[in-house]
Amino acid sequence: MASLEEIIQERKKKIEGLRSLGINPYPEKTKRDHSIKEVLENFDELAKDNKEICVAGRIMSIRGHGALMFSHMMDETGKIQFLLKKDDLGEEKMDLFKNYFDMGDFIEVSGTVFMTNTNEKTVLVKDFNILCKALRPIPTEWFGLEDEEEKLRKRYLDLILNKEVKETFDLRIDLMRYIREFFYNLDFKEVETPILQPVYGGALAQPFMTHLNALDMDVYLRIAPELYLKRLLIGGYEKIFEIAKCFRNEGIDREHNPEFTNLELYWVWSHRDGLMSMLEDMVKFLIGKLGDKSALKLENISFPFERITFSEFIKNKSGLDFDNGSLADFQEYLKKNHIEFEKGESKAKLGDLIVKQFRNELIKPTFITDDPLELSPLAKQDLNDLEHTLRFHLYMDGKEICNGFSELNDAMEQRKRFEEQEKMHESGDKDAHPLDTDFVDALEYGMPPTGGLGIGIERLIAVLLGKGSLKEILFFPFLKNKE
């Protein structure tokens, strides 16, 4: 069996051979006038009229070496067989195909369609042309590979050879359109805000930093678009959303990728409870759009979703009393259950670790509400319980899908909380929120009562499609370098 390098060298010789015959192996244009799907869907009419068509695609198989050669080609829309006959094409043209075409090459074929004796729809070729000569062979035993990571590294091959993978990404593309449709139907406007930011903010997370040479200043890749979107509310917009690429310098696992897609939405005159009701409607809408392709079934979901407070959830799962228990109680529980935590972390942080420990049990859509104030520097306080906020998290299939709250619009309180976060950062809390004085200055001009939320798009899509890892719905997940 020839080595990869030998195959590449042989194909390079074929490229030179084509050029010596006056044939460009990489032409600019094609005569293609039908997609493969169009040919298959209109096959009976095309066959009846004996109409000549031209299709193009990647060669996926070649069989036969004599006067008849069968082959399959594939484009984005489907796969079809084509037949080359020496009697129709002539010896010179047949030799051209035999000697210079390989699996993986792109080809255009012109001809009429017919049904073979084995009932396969086929193009009877009258002429053909090379469109792109491939140097590397398509691996014919791809499905037998056990190295799943290699499939992620070479997603392009996975897409070519694994129909289910392609269908998954097509559904992701459809879902992005449905999500936009849902919010457009509610008269939200889609906006864009900066990815490069002089001060990162909008979440408790560590950023990526880079340097802007033109201004000789350090800048950050955004961890969230929140503070810029709120500036637009101050400027007069009332219903806006952004589908934003965000970047967080954190761990990589089944639920985290350093680059991810976040939908952030702000609705002036709304509030936390209104957002939760809207999310229930959105989930129902998306499941309806997917139909039988959705892993979630409406008949298995209770509306409205279950709701439980942060303190109640901790009490139910650990027996700890968050509001009245001591920091020592929480530290002892975490040690006993072998849950790692950093020295000096607050009770709120330790409580959040307990929530994360048990969130995988939240299979049915569930809202956990009323986060501690310390974990929610941008949310309004609950006036009946000032240590907690008007905030919620939506969990589905054990994953956190969404985070939202009634937005803090008290500029003096916001400045105070940012200053407290600054002190936490100086004390070693790498996730603490920095002080954004420009945003607070903007807030001093006044921002109306608003509900805001952020949806982890990849997590939502993974749940809707029944995928266990974000890697399955990311075209190019971040992977460590090969050794």
Note whether 95 and 210 are same-domain residues.
no
- The number of angstroms, rounded, from the C-alpha of 328 to the middle of its chain's C-alpha atoms is 41
Residue 29 pLDDT greater than 90, yes or no: yes
Domain of 70, in residue numbers: 4-138
Dump strand ranges (E) for 280-422: 306-309, 366-369, 381-382, 385-389, 391-396, 399-406
CB neighbours of residue 247 within 10 Å: 19
* Distance of alpha carbon 281 from alpha carbon 119, whole angstroms: 46
Partnered with residue 70 across adjacent β-strands are: 63, 83
User: What is the C-alpha separation between 290 and 168, in angstroms, rounded?
Assistant: 12
* 118 lies in the same domain as 203: no
**252 vs 265, more confident:** 265
Q: Domain ends where: 138, 173, 200?
A: 138
3-state secondary structure of 186: coil
Please return the burial class of 192, using the count of CB atoms within 10 Å of its CB with bins 0-12, 13-18 and 19+.
exposed
Cα dihedral 177, 179, 184, 189 sign: negative
Handedness of CA 380, 386, 390, 395 (dihedral sign): positive
Specify which residues 116 forms β-bridges with: none
Q: What is the mean pLDDT of residues 161-184?
A: 96
pLDDT in tens, 205-253: 899 999 999 999 999 999 999 999 999 999 999 999 999 999 999 888 8
- The answer to whether residue 180 is domain-embedded is yes
- Overall number of domains in the chain: 2
Contact 390, 379 (CB under 8 A): yes
How confident is the model over 442-471, as a mean pLDDT? Answer: 97
Same domain, 407 and 276: yes
Q: Which two tokens stand for residue 386?
A: 């000032």
Are 71 and 133 part of one and the same domain? yes
Q: Which two tokens stand for residue 20?
A: 């010596």
Residue 335: inside a domain: no
Q: What is the DSSP letter of 434?
A: P
The whole-model pTM stands at 0.92
C-beta of residue 309 within 8 angstroms of C-beta of residue 290: no
**Which residues touch 289 (CB under 8 Å, ≥6 apart)?**
174, 175, 178
CA 292 to chain centre: 21
Q: Is the model's pLDDT at 151 over the cut of 60?
A: yes
Q: Is residue 235 part of a domain?
A: yes
d(CA 369, CA 418) in angstroms, rounded, equals 22
Does 151 map to a domain?
no
Pair (191, 297) in one structural domain: yes
Choose one of 138, 170, 203: the last residue of a domain.
138
Q: Are 398 and 359 in contact (CB under 8 A)?
A: yes
Together in a domain, 264 and 393: yes
The two three-digit tokens of residue 45, written as one number = 């009419």
pLDDT band at 271 (very low <50, low <70, confident <90, very high): very high
Do 263 and 396 sit in the same domain of this protein? yes
Q: Could you tell me which residue, 400 or 429, shows the higher pLDDT?
A: 400
Confidence of residue 142 (pLDDT cuts 50, 70, 90): very low
CA 300/CA 43 separation, integer angstroms = 41
128 plus 199 within the same structural domain = no
CATH code, domain carrying 47: 2.40.50.140
CB-CB contact of 310 with 372 (8 Å): yes
- For residue 145, pLDDT over 70 is answered with no
Distance CA 77, CA 38 (A): 8
- pLDDT tens digits for 376-385? 989 999 999 9
Q: Which of the residue ranges 78-87, 302-311, 430-439, 442-451 would you say has the lowest mean pLDDT? A: 430-439
pLDDT of residue 139: 83
For residue 381, the SS3 value is strand
Return the structure tokens found at 338.
């072998």
In a domain, 354, yes or no: no
Q: Which two tokens stand for residue 205?
A: 């997370």
Last residue of a domain, one of 82, 107, 138: 138
3-state secondary structure 214-269: CCCEEEEECCCCHHHHHHHHHCCCCEEEEEEEEECCCCCECCECCEEEEEEEEEEC
DSSP string, 90-119: -HHHHHHHHHH--TT-EEEEEEEEEE-TT-
Do 50 and 117 belong together in one domain?
yes
Rounded Cα distance between 207 and 247, Å, is 7
Section 74-87 average pLDDT: 97
Taken as a whole, the chain contains a residue count of 483
| 196 shares a domain with 85 | no
Q: Tens digit of pLDDT for each residue in 298-337?
A: 999 999 999 999 999 999 999 999 999 999 999 999 999 9
pLDDT tens-digit series, residues 99-117: 999 999 999 999 999 999 9
Please tell me the predicted confidence (pLDDT) of residue 481.
Answer: 85
Is residue 334 included in any domain, yes or no?
no
Asked if residue 353 belongs to a domain, the reply is: no
In a shared domain, residues 117 and 191: no
Q: Residue 78: in which H helix or E strand, if any?
A: strand 78-85
| CATH number of residue 233's parent domain | 3.30.930.10
- The answer to the question of residue 320 being in a domain is no
Contact 424, 207 (CB under 8 A): no
Same domain, 130 and 175: no
Segment 340-379, tens digit of pLDDT: 998 889 999 999 999 999 999 999 999 999 999 999 989 9
CA 376/CA 361 separation, integer angstroms: 24
pLDDT at 143: 47
Which tokens go with 310?
């942060």
| Spatial distance between the Cα atoms of 334 and 351, rounded to a whole number of angstroms | 10
Give the pLDDT confidence score for residue 144 in this predicted structure: 44
SS3 string, 447-462, reads: CCCEEEEEEEHHHHHH
Q: Which of 140-149, 187-196, 343-352 has the lowest mean pLDDT?
A: 140-149
